[in-house]
Each structure stands twice: as structure tokens, then as C-alpha cells.
Amino acid sequence: MERAPGGLLQRSQQDPAISGNGERLAVIVDQRGRPTVQLRDLRNGKILPLRHFSRHQPHSSPSLSWNGRYLALITQRGNRRLAIIEDRLSGKAHPLPLPGGRDPVRLSLSPDARQIALQVADQGQWRVEIFDLSQTLESDRPGGLRQSTPSTELQR
């Protein structure tokens, strides 16, 4: 096994998630003592800006769609954990509130961003729930983003 070019140099990283096309990597890094998501373009090594994740740490369980248009993760707001998806193309945030006081523990976004699987804690029990996002998010399919929008839009 060989290490891919453009390896990351930062020492403290955890929870890696790579986009389906292999061009983006999300990791959790220690930023001023807070677990914070970082998104990197693996083609050139640059860290990509994120609009909605600069506050409300700690972050955990990042997951990327196929082209990296969508980044889903779990964040903290006050004493509540919340799953949130950032659409890097439109700049919108999509919080996923869970009814009944359930807290997300881990998540996995489908490559096309049409579904999300959430591991939740509910009254001391662990459960996995699947949520349909097809009415909320546009599909992110292989090659689809480049055909309709310049890839430079997602590098900003």
C-alpha cells in the first residue's frame, strides 16, 4: 500500500471521510482546543472554506457526497447535538432536527446525497435511522456537477 500524493502534514487528525470521486477529504482537526472539521482539495492540497461550520464545535462524523458538494457532520449547539449538511455550491445549511429528543451519534451521507443514515441515541438505546433527502437536496452524481457548474465554484 502506498501513500497517496499530497498527504496531509497536520499531526492530530481523526474521522476521515473522502468524496466518492477521491478529490476532497474531510477530517476533524484540533483547532484551538476544539474538534473542528477541515475540508481539503486533494488535487492541490488547499484547505477549502466552509461557511457554516466555523462555530458550534465540537464537530464529528463528517461525510461527503460524490463530488464533495455536500458535507454532512454532527455539531454541537448549546447542549444539543445536531446533524447538519452544508451545500457548498449554494452556500445553504440544512440542519436535520430529530424529533423526540434523540441525539445523533454518527452519520453517513449517501454518495448522491439523496439519503442519510444516522446512528441515534434514544433513551439509552442505539438505533440507525435512514432519512430521505430527495426533497431537500439536489442529487450529486458522478460527473454531474462538472457538467452543470464549473468545478471552481466548489473550490471557493
Q: What is the pTM of this model?
A: 0.84
What CA–CA distance (Å, rounded) separates 24 from 19? 5
pLDDT in tens, 77-126: 888 899 999 999 999 999 998 878 788 999 999 999 999 999 998 888 89
Chain-centre distance for alpha carbon 46: 17
% of the chain at pLDDT higher than 90? 63
Q: How do the domains of the chain map onto residue ranges? A: 13-100
Q: How many other C-beta atoms are found inside a 10 Å radius of the C-beta of residue 19?
A: 23
